[in-house]
Structure 1
């Protein structure tokens, strides 16, 4: 299988929203603000930690002057917030099947790199990936295609496939002009039909055969 596959992380390989919600609501409680729901948490995820905090803050009427302090508190806790996070069903087996078939695998996420590595290690997924890039690995982050290009370049040749779940991922793939497989059970904000994609799937058990069937 001569293919390089790069995955998004939150909402694609893992459901991390419960842990992120826990961090957010701890911060909001200290501010005397109402907690955010799990649905709000998922809606705020996707553009990196700073944007998440800004969305959370704005949703609860906390002024912009608090942004840097809240972001520092958020990122300080993020690395150890792994206990409620889990891979989506079928993820470990799909990754094993793809790697055993010769695919080269990587991760490109807007989550900061240290918590990215921490959660991959906690879930026993680290060894599947030859390259892991976080939202702070380069001066720019998705939907700028540069991090995705960097991940693919690190993996080497073969057909390039990006797997993600969100509007940001779809835009990134489009700007990079690479094949995009959309996981429909993640954190996307738009309807599936409104996101450009080569193929879609709702179960990771289907992904290896989708990859094999590419024209």
Structure 2
């Protein structure tokens, strides 16, 4: 049995269109709407960082942070209708569970929106433990959330699966092998991200888990 912890946005799900919708809803209407490439570049390090990047990108006053963040969070839990699951994710999670592996989820998305989107997409049942960006004082790339999840899952071999430089840094800090999903929201070329292995299709993941055993 392996403890396998996953990132969420950009790894299991593509939520950028929903996040784009929230961001444009809270922007002043006279400003240019935020684009999908901008949204993907802003994501990955928690909602406070997302809002700060949004403020910088639209040259908004820094004291608008609290209002924008409050408006964002008020909409986040119900922003699920344009989020999609990457191909093969549900089948792979089911296969990994059936093989006896224990699964956790470590995301910088706040816990309530994370649980809401997992429930909406029918993925919640696969995970034994979930920690969001507001579950602990620390968030990724600090290793504390990943280590807390792994401690809850037991003491067998561990793997972390993510899509970004932040995830790679988190895994390295936790001394956990990192598997990189290359089709998510990296900030730069995926061949520059340090990892134990990389994959572009979830159908390859069970084989990688077996190989690393």
Smaller-chain TM-score range? over 0.9
- State the alpha-carbon separation in 2 of the partners of residues 34 and 192 from structure 1: 30
The partner residue of 1:135 within 129, 133, 149 is: 133
* Mapped partners of 1:208, 1:194: distance in 2: 24
Once the 2 structures are TM-superposed, how far is the Cα of residue 59 of structure 1 from its aligned partner? Answer: 0.2
Q: CA deviation at 1:31?
A: 4.9
- Residues 65-80 of structure 1 aligned to structure 2 (within 5 Å): 65-80=63-78
Partner Cα separation in structure 2 for residue 58 and residue 131 of structure 1 = 35
RMSD, aligned α-carbons: 0.8
Residue 86 in 1 paired to residue 84 in 2?
Answer: yes
CA distance in 1, matches of 2:188, 2:175: 20
Match of 2:152 in 1: 154
Q: 1:67 deviation in Å? A: 0.3
SS at match of 1:153: helix
Quick check: 1:205 aligned with 2:197?
no
Counterpart of 2:3 in structure 1 is 4
* Residue 13 (structure 2) aligns with: 14
Q: TM-score, normalised by structure 2?
A: 0.98
Within a 5 Å distance, the mapping from 1:1-215 to structure 2 comes to 2-28=1-27, 30-215=28-213
Structure-1-length-normalised TM-score: 0.97
1:93-117 per-position Cα deviation (integer Å, ceiling 9, x unaligned): 0000000000000100000000000
Q: Between Structure 1 and Structure 2, how many residues are aligned?
A: 213
Equivalent-residue separation in structure 2 for 1:66 and 1:210 (angstroms): 46
CA 1:40–1:46 in structure 2 vs 1: closer, same or farther (change >3 Å)?
A: same
- Shift of the alpha carbon at 1:156? 0.7
Q: Equivalents in 2 of 1:32, 1:148: separation in Å? A: 41
